[in-house]
Amino acid sequence: MYRKILVAVDGSSYSQKALETSRELALKTDPEVVIVVHIIENTALGVHASPDIHQRLFAEGHKLLESSAKVLEQDGIKAATVIKHDDAAKAIVSLAIENDVDLIVIGSRGLGRFGGLMLGSVSDKVLHFARCSVLVAR
Ligand SMILES: Nc1ncnc2c1ncn2[C@@H]1O[C@H](COP(=O)(O)OP(=O)(O)OP(=O)(O)O)[C@@H](O)[C@H]1O
Ligand SMILES: [Mg+2]
């Protein structure tokens, strides 16, 4: 049913749920690949981003992607990873188009601090602009 699934991880418990959902779906639908993506945003880097911060965020992102891919590969699911410095929603939508993805899986919320919101701004934008189906894990 889904040939290519993209799952977006930011390190939050919500994106952990999204990863788990993509794993369960992949086990049922046997896709070619699950692409796990992590985006480093300018807000995470700050205005005065030093090369050090940049390097640290990329290193942390790589670790997150590695452990996420492992969760999938342990179950025999083919996983690919992408890390980028960009706007998260914009990157998720474009990576899905470029890779001919059928389904994007995201969490309803992320690392943001505004606990009262039902939907984070990244999920909101992805739902608006994605050209494929989107599953919001809650
Ligand atoms: N930098 C990122 N890289 C990859 N995926 C992300 C990133 N940021 C968010 N996501 C995805 O989007 C989901 C929702 O996160 P979102 O950022 O919209 O919520 P939030 O952090 O609570 O709110 P906001 O960022 O608007 O304060 C996450 O669970 C994750 O799947
Ligand atoms: Mg966020």
Query: What is the three-class DSSP state of 113?
Result: coil
pLDDT, tens digit, 9 for 90 and up, residues 22-41: 999 999 999 999 999 999 99
Confidence (pLDDT) at 87: 97
Higher pLDDT, 50 or 127: 127
Q: What atom in ligand 1 is closest to the CA of residue 137?
A: 29
The verdict on the CB of residue 135 being under 6 Å from ligand 1 is: no
Confidence (pLDDT) at 25: 97
Task: Indicate which residue's Cα is closest to atom 6 of ligand 1.
Answer: 10
Edge-to-edge order in the sheet of strand 33-40? 79-85, 33-40, 4-8, 103-107, 133-137
Q: Which ligand is nearest to the CA of 119?
A: 1
Confidence (pLDDT) at 86: 96
Distance 112 CA to ligand 1 centre (A): 7
Distance CA 75, CA 90 (A): 30
The number of residues making up the chain comes to: 138
Confidence (pLDDT) at 49: 74
> Percentage of the chain with pLDDT > 90?
86
Q: Which domains does the chain have, with CATH numbers?
A: 4-137 (3.40.50.620)
Confidence (pLDDT) at 8: 98
H or E element that contains 138: none
pTM of this prediction?
0.96
Q: Which ligand is nearest to the CA of 92?
A: 1
The verdict on the CB of residue 18 being under 6 Å from ligand 1 is: yes
Distance CA 46, CA 124 (A): 23
Q: Which ligand is nearest to the CA of 87?
A: 1
Confidence (pLDDT) at 70: 98
Task: Indicate which residue's Cα is closest to atom 29 of ligand 1.
Answer: 107
pLDDT, tens digit, 9 for 90 and up, residues 42-76: 877 777 778 888 899 999 999 999 999 999 999 99
Task: Tell me the C-alpha to C-alpha distance, in Å, between residue 100 and each of 6, 43, 50, 137.
Answer: 10, 28, 35, 21
Pocket test for ligand 1, best of 38, 109, 122, 134 (most atoms within 8 A of CB): 122
User: What residues contact residue 76 under an 8 Å CB cut-off, 6+ apart?
Assistant: none
- Among 44-53, 98-107, 129-138, the range scoring the smallest mean pLDDT is 44-53
